[in-house]
Each structure stands twice: as C-alpha cells, then as structure tokens.
Amino acid sequence: MIPVLIGITILTFVIINLAPGDPVDAMIDPSTMTSAANIEALKEKFGLNQPVYIRYFIWLKELMKGNLGYSYRTNEPVLERIIRRIGPTVQFAGLSVIIAIIIGIPLGVISAIKQYTLTDYSLTVFAFLGISIPGFFVGLLSIYIFSLKIDLLPPYGIGPATLERLKFLILPAFALGWARISVYLRYTRSSMLEVMNCDYITTARSKGLKERTVIFKHALRNAMITIVTIISLQLKAVFGGSIIIETVFAIPGIGLLAMTAVTQRDYPVIMGVSLVIAIIVLLSNLLADICYAIVDPRIRY
C-alpha cells in the first residue's frame, strides 16, 4: 500500500503542476493592476518559483510531520478543512453503497434464478439503463420529482447533524449509487450462474435441501468472492462521483471542496483531498482482502 500511495502522490502532484493556469493569477483580482514584483513575491511566499521536484519533496517532508500545508486562498490548514468536510461525504457515499448493495445484489440473485424469463430480461434492461444514464442526470431528475413536484425530500444541503439529516442524504445517495446498483446486479447474476452450475450445488439439491438454503447458503456465499471484489473496486468510483453529486446537491463535502480547489488552483487542497481519497481506496482494498477470508475460509490457507 505504501509504494502505491507514494506513486499516487507523485502522479497527482505532477498532473496538478502541468495543468494550465497559475494559482497566483487565480488569487489576483483581474480588475486591479498588480506589478510583476508583487507577483514574484507571491510566488516566493508560496514556493511556486521552485522546480516541481523540489516542491514535491518539500510537501512530502511536511506530510511526514502530519502537515498537509495551507490553503492558498484562505491560509487555513488543509487538514482542518478536510476534516470539516469529510463527514458529509463519508455519510452520503456510505449510504449510497448500502443502497446499491441492498438493491443490486438481491436483484442479481433474482435475475440468475429466473434466467431467460421476462423478469431476467426486464432486470437486464434496467441494468443497462442504470449504466447508461449518468448520476448527475438522475440527481437532477430526482430533485424535480421528489422535491419540486411531490415536495417529499429536500433538494439540496446536508441538514442538521441528527436523524433529520437522513432526509437530506437520500436523494444524493441514490443518485450516486444508481450506477452501482446496475453493476452489482450484473456481476451478481453472472457469479450466481457460474456457481449454480457447479457439482456441489447439484449435490446439495440431491440431498433434499430446500432451494432457499441451496441458493443463499451455498451458491450466494461462494459467488460473494467476485461480488466483494467488485464492491471494493467500485469504492473509488463512488468517491470520484461524489465530486459531481456534491456539486448538484450543494453538499459541503470533500468533493465540492476539491471542485472549488481545482477552479481556484489551490494546489495544497487538491493534494490533500487526493491523498485522503487514495488512502480510503487503499484501505477499502485491504478490507476486501479481509472479507475474502471471511466469505471463503479456504483463502486463509
């Protein structure tokens, strides 16, 4: 995990510094006249006159001390800004994964059991629609239906830090989890069909076990190896998609923070957000490896 994390920071740092624009130019009001000396003084203050590799090693050295730097725009510590914003993102992103699992996996099992029936074909069409329709469109459509027409759920914001917040999280979580539902459905169906043709499933049925026991205790548990892999691999897409969804629903999370930092060329904030998301994704991969051993004890050997 550590070499991968270092590689991510190097790649992100290089890409950010190759992007067009200058953070100093983004700080200056276009309507005012600023001398070249003042511009150079600002670059000196933020260390932007150093070569890229020097700036990276300075950033890495400070990172080892637990310092992610200071925002070019607000002069606040980057770590403090991320801590304030990460809660809403984790809450609605986690809810989106739960919604996708609760809906996608059971539908995938039903699709596999009802193979080549009208139910299977209908769920296949639903899955293709889910993959094809982008999350931001689902978000805007859900705001129009459930907020403007029905007036059932709030259209934007995060709400108070109570159970009332759940009402604010449902629409963005569903919009973010929309594509995940289709992915989990299709992979669950594929894994279940592969497992259902195995000899041990035929043996379980020949012993007179109930079909429900055969499906959920024997077939689904062995199919979960692939499903757990897909869930862990999709987590990075969840946090990546949160940037757009947070913008649509005006959620003050790290996704919206990253979007604002990109438009303002706030390099320390961009690097801090990228680092946090990379750590979350790597930890999710580690969690997937642990879940493998829980789902299939043979992996422990």
Domain assignment present for 75: no
pLDDT of residue 99: 93
Task: Point out the domain boundary residue: 64, 92, 110.
Answer: 64
Same domain flag for 137 and 50: no
Domain assignment present for 210: yes
Number of folded domains in the chain?
2
Domain assignment present for 70: no
Nearest to 50 by CA among 93, 96, 84, 13: 13
Same domain flag for 118 and 229: yes
Same domain flag for 206 and 96: yes
pLDDT of residue 144: 92
pLDDT of residue 181: 92
Between vectors from CA 9 to CA 4 and to CA 12, what angle results, nearest 5°?
A: 120
Nearest to 89 by CA among 81, 178, 152, 261: 81
Domain assignment present for 204: yes
Alpha carbons 269 and 290: distance in angstroms, whole number:
32
Burial of 151 (0-12, 13-18, 19+ CB in 10 A): exposed
pLDDT of residue 121: 94
pLDDT of residue 34: 65
pLDDT of residue 68: 82
Q: What is the pTM of this model?
A: 0.79
Same domain flag for 22 and 94: no
Domain that holds residue 260: 84-300
Same domain flag for 53 and 104: no
Rounded (10°) angle between helices 78-113 and 267-295: 40
Domain assignment present for 69: no
Same domain flag for 53 and 197: no
The parts of the chain modelled with pLDDT lower than 50 are none
Q: Please, which residues bridge with residue 70 across strands?
A: 77
Same domain flag for 135 and 28: no
pLDDT of residue 25: 59
Same domain flag for 162 and 45: no
Same domain flag for 24 and 100: no
Same domain flag for 133 and 241: yes
Domain assignment present for 78: no
C-beta atoms surrounding 211 within 10 Å: 10
Domain assignment present for 71: no
Residue 143 near residue 155 (C-beta atoms within 8 A):
yes
The predicted-structure confidence for 76-130, as pLDDT tens digits, reads as follows 888 889 998 888 888 888 899 999 999 999 999 999 999 899 999 999 999 999 8
CATH number of the domain where residue 102 is located: 1.10.3720.10
Domain assignment present for 168: yes
Same domain flag for 127 and 210: yes
Same domain flag for 217 and 171: yes
- DSSP string over the chain: -HHHHHHHHHHHHHHHHHSSS-HHHHHS-TTS---HHHHHHHHHHHTTTS-HHHHHHHHHHHHHTT---B-TTT--BHHHHHHHHHHHHHHHHHHHHHHHHHHHHHHHHHHHHTTTSHHHHHHHHHHHHHHHS-HHHHHHHHIIIIIIIS--S-SS----SSTTHHHHHHHHHHHHHHHHHHHHHHHHHHHHHHHHTSHHHHHHHHTT--HHHIIIIIIHHHHHHHHHHHHHHHHHHHHHHHHHHHHHHT--SHHHHHHHHHHHT-HHHHHHHHHHHHHHHHHHHHHHHHHHHHH-GGGG-
